[in-house]
A and B are shown apart, each in its own frame.
Chain A
Amino acid sequence: MLTMVKEKTIAPTEEKAVVYRTKELNLWYGEHHALKNIELDIYENEVTAIIGPSGCGKSTYIKTLNRMIELVPNVRTSGEITYRGRNIFDPTYRVEELRTQVGMVFQKPNPFPKSIYENVAYGPRIHGIRDKKILDEIVEKSLRGAAIWDEVKDRLHENAYGLSGGQQQRLCIARCLAIEPDVILMDEPTSALDPISTLKVEELIEELKKNYSIIIVTHNMQQAARISDRTAFFLNGEVVEFAETDQLFSTPADKRTEDYITGRFG
């Protein structure tokens, strides 16, 4: 992962590079048709928010992007998702390789039952880094990157479960940064956090987008409006509208989007 050269394909009509391109994606849980003909482009160094009511498929979609969805039994997909020009469903594309490029932060903080240091060092370790000095550097850099270094630098070897929920979530972000991903997927990362912790994570996302492409699923429309550059509105497994965030919230093109953002349902 560290030695891999990231190929950047720049679409001629776009100013920004496309990281993820989704074409005619369909997904079924057994008989249930959960995603219907999804078409979506994710751009480099942007925050893309995915909003929509519960059960609209937004979490399913983000988990498809790093193929975590395959952990659910009886999942079937059709269509194509390309990540940096490569079809992620290609059988020759190792899922571990994809997930090294695309980190994920989950709804509930899920640190490992290990020390703070070991939580962050785990990723680099499994990717072959053994040198203690290099690991120390990665751990510090990642914890700084996740704006939690000052809070934990004196207790790196204490169990991560001693941290507060908000700190745990930032630790999980640090853990994700440690593998030097290209994209960070965030599945409602603040839904289990209090307002102050939420604010910290949001500020962090602002900071991270300079170096990473971020896709965030959120239940909270204000959050999407605050932090994202583009927003996709999902409803019943379809993308109703996908536009620049300002535009989507000020002049939604679709009646259903307008109803949702003005709070008429959801």
Chain B
Amino acid sequence: MQNLIVSMLKAFGVGDIMVAEGGREAIDILQITQARAVSQYLTRVDIVVTDWLMTKGSGEDILRWIRTHERDEVRFLPVIVLSGFTTSTVTHQARDLGAHEILTKPVSANGLASRITSVINNPRPFINVSDYFGPDRRRKDEVYEGKDRRVIEAEEITVIKK
């Protein structure tokens, strides 16, 4: 599956692809590329594409590590999760841990392409609250007719531009 994703990314024209054998190795790679002092000789990772279920560290481990990292270069990374689980449980878990996009297997070229272009074209603002850090989970900017139960006082919201 991993080889397939690499081939598909190459077909899309992605130049530099780093492959990890599981979540723990992915974290090691990110520690070198993003977390350490910036070096002109190191390529930074732009997007993380991860499977959810893996033997050596899961997609959940990677997401938790990324979203709770102290450095901005790590915690704002876009993450696309591939999931072989067809129930909504994993989708909700991944979303609540801050995944940008979730792609359910079997993968299609259109599916992967649309997730990547969505990350690039429509970056959602990040939300930083006590139990969540990640892209805004509300994707639609619709006028809601009913009672807004999420109303909060204006001073409780801080908008920061990075």
Q: Answer yes or no: do A and B interact.
A: no
Q: Spell out A's residues near B (CB within 8 Å).
A: none
